[in-house]
Structure 1
Amino acid sequence: MGTVLANREFRALWISEAVSVAGDQLTRVALAILVYERTGSAFYAAGIYALTFLPALAGGLGLSQLADRYRRRTLMVVCSAIQAVVVATMAIPGVPLWVLFVLVIIVPMVQSPALAAQNATTREVFADDDAQYLRSQDLRGISTNTMMLLGLGGGGLLIGAIGITWTLLIDAGTFTVAAILVHRDVRNRPPAGSKDDGWFDGAKWVFGDRRLRVLLSLSWLVGLAVIPEGLAAPLAQEAGAAPESVGWLLAADPLGFILGTFLISRFVPDRHRIKLIGALATASVGVLVLFALKPNLIAALVLLALAGAVGAYQITVMAVFNSIVPNEIRGGAFGAARTGLRVSQGLGVAAGGLVAELIGSAMNTVALAGLLGVVLAIPLAVAWSRLHEAPAPAKPSTPDNDTPGRQEAA
């Protein structure tokens, strides 16, 4: 995996993403604490945290297409600069709450096209080496999850040590570093697409291809796999564990994901990884069925870590996705895929909470989610086993085509 770091362009993209992710987690924690200290309202504290996620939905589906219409390096640099200024403004003591809420909306909105550009550029960097591209995605998956854990886990400690203002300024600094690295080390390639393309050509092309529909459906099963995170507190209670164990339950899945990504990358040949997507997707939700046995805390942690480990198939899903989608619409296509992923996670957590409230058991809710996931995953896995070797359909040559890429891969 370390061989991909010899590529200067990827190294800049990788470092900029890692430091930005860590800074984002610090900001989420800092803003939640800041708003709670100023208002004393748990509702407002939760609201400011939620706002760091929700605008990415609209930005992912709409603004991601900017990554196809403009130079991707320029877009990444401009977006990082805007985010640095916005977060630095948040750090000004006494900023009115309404201004803070507006600024919080801007950051993830701007982040969406930057992520789409970064995702597409990484594929361009390794356009002639599929094996190294897959390794680069493994490394991104490991580092991103590690930085999220460090940022969330250490955020409170850092804020206690240096204060909210300096913590926010650190996040602003991470965006500045990202902008400098990308501008210095990433090639300034011409736009991949055209400003004359239809605004949602990427999304239309994706959903017009049966193979990609099946692939994304397997990815969006994470909406069921994420339900234990939303029920961490009642799960700890049912397991007879102390409230402090909620953090362990939340950390188990991403820790498992990091380990699973490394093991799959190290021991599973590339050609087999694509074939195993369906089986691993089924296993990632199937493990949750065992919560029907009412495991204790240790067993619950093992189950969640195991679910996270096999859930590392998500890395392969996005690598295959980016390899199938034409470069000129890759930004918009990525935005559609990421938006679907976010929506599935949000709906999954909300539905899990509702079901747990109705049946009175978080563990039974998780088990039911796992059972539903298996029922959905098996036919999708069978379909993927038949479709994964099919050639991709050609991108339509006319931007105003109403049904781009309607051929079904078979």
Structure 2
Amino acid sequence: MAEPRLDHTPEDEDRSPSSEAPDDSWRSSYRQVMAIGEFRSLWLAHALSTIGSNLLNIAAVTLVFQQTDSPLAAGFTLALTFLPPLIAGPLLSGVADIFPRRRVMVVCDLLRASLIFAIGIPGVPLWAIWALLFCSVLPTLPFAAARAALLTEIVQGERYVAGLAIFQLTAQVGTLAGLAAGGYIAAMLGVNMAFMANGAVIVLAALIVLFGVRSRPSPRAEASERPRLPVMIRDGSKLVFGDHRLRTLALLAWLAGLYMIPYGLASPLSEQVGGGPTSAGLIMAGPFIGAFFGGFVLTRLIPPPTRIRMLGPLAVLASLPLLLWLFDPPLWLMIVALAVSGACSSYQIVANAAFVLCVPKEGRGLAFGLVAAGLQTAQGLGFLLAGLLAESFNPNAVVVCAGAVGIVLAAGLALPWARLAGHTVELMNQTEKAS
């Protein structure tokens, strides 16, 4: 029997098998996706939002440090960005399944921009900065859920995977651009102007979505079809955790809370090899460099069915390089190991695509929001726990333990996924036909 394809369309059924050569049309999906005007608008808004988010982080940390001269206060400022998903992620993500998703994205961006503009007003007290920063992160939760669900309506199947890969690769570049732009603007024009520039970038992203993406009705167009959010959260949790396939994909995604621990310990790891802030920055950049190239290879050179079956092994390999810290590696080897880990972690692109496309249309926003909130929470708690352990134990030992636990958990998830992979490919094809 022929292997099911992720880029299967109804037109494929009209083709004669005898006249069809071995198909590798999925390789051109990047060009096909970028040729879609709505996708280009969504992608450009995503790039601007990524730059804005990182510009906000560096501006907020710089402003708080200037006011307090306290590293602890600056660290707490950054940690605030992890709290909203833990507290309100499931609740707010459900908004993406109640209202039209384009409207949700535009309103969330405009609300977020107004809060950021408020932070940039000179003389805002520290407590207000923290409160406004916390609130400015909240709109990103329904925004991300709405964007993920909307993307499945613009592109499907293998084009969705390619589109998601483009988004991920753009995020890597946008992170570096945002940090660089934030540092430059803060140094040249002042921290307050950095906030104003950030707000302007987000407003521009909202306008691009408003005029570049057509309006679509919400999955629950009639008011009578809109259940209360607590009911949606309950049903969404049952949907994700009651389905063995979706539950496994969610847990595979949350493994990032373990293999990303060196990112949170970059400063102490750098200090152990006699480095400083520059070395710590290189350690933090390692996983993102690897993810950039790994994501490109995985989505451009590996056939779709093979990718799906590689999820489990790649999840194991993402944590494996952390065992090198048993041997007190030099800085260059740390960076190489983290780049390899990042390349393997690009399985997240495929897991994300499989998860979103396997969820029923009317529940995609909430289901994606639940898993995304869990991912951010796992990373935040991982950084916090690693930092606490590093106070009492050697940071290298903490990294090794994280790697060992990650390998064991990933192997435990890879075994059931080996049985689920084939059926997942088939279900994704069926979902594409139905859409």
Tell me the TM-score normalized by structure 1.
0.91
Distance 2:181 2:372 in 1: 27
Distance 2:36 2:86 in 1: 32
Is 1:36 matched with 2:65?
Answer: yes
Q: 2:226 — aligned with what?
A: 195
Of all paired residues, the percent bearing the same amino acid is: 37
Give, as a single letter, the amino acid of the residue that structure 2 aligns with 1:80: D
What are the within-5 Å matches in structure 2 for residues 280-299 of structure 1?
A: 280-299=314-333
Distance 1:101 1:243 in 2: 25
Residue ranges of structure 1 left out of the alignment (5+ in a row): 395-410
> Alpha-carbon deviations, 1:273-329, whole Å to 9, x = none?
111000100000012112212111111110011100111100111000001001101
Worse overlay, 20-29 or 232-241: 232-241
Q: 1:316 — aligned with what?
A: 350
RMSD of equivalent CA atoms: 1.8
Q: Secondary structure at the match of 1:52?
A: helix
Structure holding more helix per residue: 2
Give, as a single letter, the amino acid of the residue that structure 2 aligns with 1:298: W
Distance 2:193 2:185 in 1: 9
Is 1:49 matched with 2:78?
Answer: yes
Q: Secondary structure at the match of 2:226?
A: coil
CA contact (8 A) 1:35 1:48 kept: yes
TM-fit CA distance, 1:203:
2.3
Distance 1:103 1:358 in 2: 34
Q: Secondary structure at the match of 2:139?
A: helix
**Equivalent of residue 69 in structure 1, options 98, 105, 111:** 98
Q: What number of residue pairs does the alignment pair up?
A: 391
Distance 2:404 2:176 in 1: 28
> Alpha-carbon deviations, 1:235-273, whole Å to 9, x = none?
122234344211110111111111111111221111111
Q: 2:211 — aligned with what?
A: 184
Give, as a single letter, the amino acid of the residue that structure 1 aligns with 2:227: D
Q: 2:14 — aligned with what?
A: none
What are the within-5 Å matches in structure 2 for residues 7-406 of structure 1?
A: 7-127=36-156, 130-193=157-220, 194-196=225-227, 198-200=231-233, 201-359=235-393, 361-390=394-423
Worse overlay, 188-197 or 282-291: 188-197
Give, as a single letter, the amino acid of the residue that structure 1 aligns with 2:415: V
CA contact (8 A) 2:356 2:364 kept: yes
Tell me the TM-score normalized by structure 2.
0.86
Q: Secondary structure at the match of 1:95?
A: coil
> Alpha-carbon deviations, 1:19-48, whole Å to 9, x = none?
111111111111111122122233322222
TM-fit CA distance, 1:154:
4.2
Give, as a single letter, the amino acid of the residue that structure 2 aligns with 1:62: L
**Equivalent of residue 3 in structure 1, options 20, 28, 32:** 32
In structure 2, the CA distance between the partners of 1:375 and 1:230, relative to structure 1 (3 Å rule), is same
TM-fit CA distance, 1:228:
0.4
Distance 2:277 2:53 in 1: 26
> Alpha-carbon deviations, 1:350-383, whole Å to 9, x = none?
2222333333x21222112111111111121011
> Alpha-carbon deviations, 1:365-408, whole Å to 9, x = none?
2112111111111121011010123369x9xxxxxxxxxxxxxx
Give, as a single letter, the amino acid of the residue that structure 2 aligns with 1:16: A
CA contact (8 A) 1:59 1:110 kept: no
Distance 2:176 2:369 in 1: 24
Distance 2:206 2:126 in 1: 28
Residue ranges of structure 2 left out of the alignment (5+ in a row): 1-29, 428-435
CA contact (8 A) 1:202 1:331 kept: no
CA contact (8 A) 2:265 2:387 kept: yes
